[in-house]
Amino acid sequence: MAVCPNCEAEIEYLQYSGRKSCSARYFGGHIYEVDQEFAEFGDEQWCCPKCHEVLFTNECLADGFLRGKVIPAKVLGEGG
């Protein structure tokens, strides 16, 4: 299980936040059919669900952290 470098909580998941854009068809009456969704790059964050510290801004690194293969830069002395 992953451990948050800020609060040292054992965590099973990271809280994701980001802005999403989409392409959709509007049929009236508040009915939309989404064709495609995509994130606004640079606006995505993966945070500790306990202390809300931002740990990653890259999905691949966040995934590696949860799999035990990536250490957050903050632990390595490279983060804020």
Q: Report pLDDT digits (tens) over 3-54.
A: 999 999 999 999 988 877 778 888 887 778 888 777 666 678 899 999 999 9
β-sheet bridge partners, residue 3: 10
User: Three-state SS for 46?
Assistant: strand
**5 located within any domain:** no
**7 located within any domain:** no
**8 located within any domain:** no
Residue 59: its pLDDT value, please?
87
Q: Which of 19, 20, 12 is nearest to 66 (CA)?
A: 12
Determine contact, residues 46/15, Cβ cutoff 8 Å: yes
Q: How many domains does the chain have?
A: 1
Domain interval for residue 67: 18-80
**52 located within any domain:** yes
**31 located within any domain:** yes
Determine contact, residues 46/72, Cβ cutoff 8 Å: no
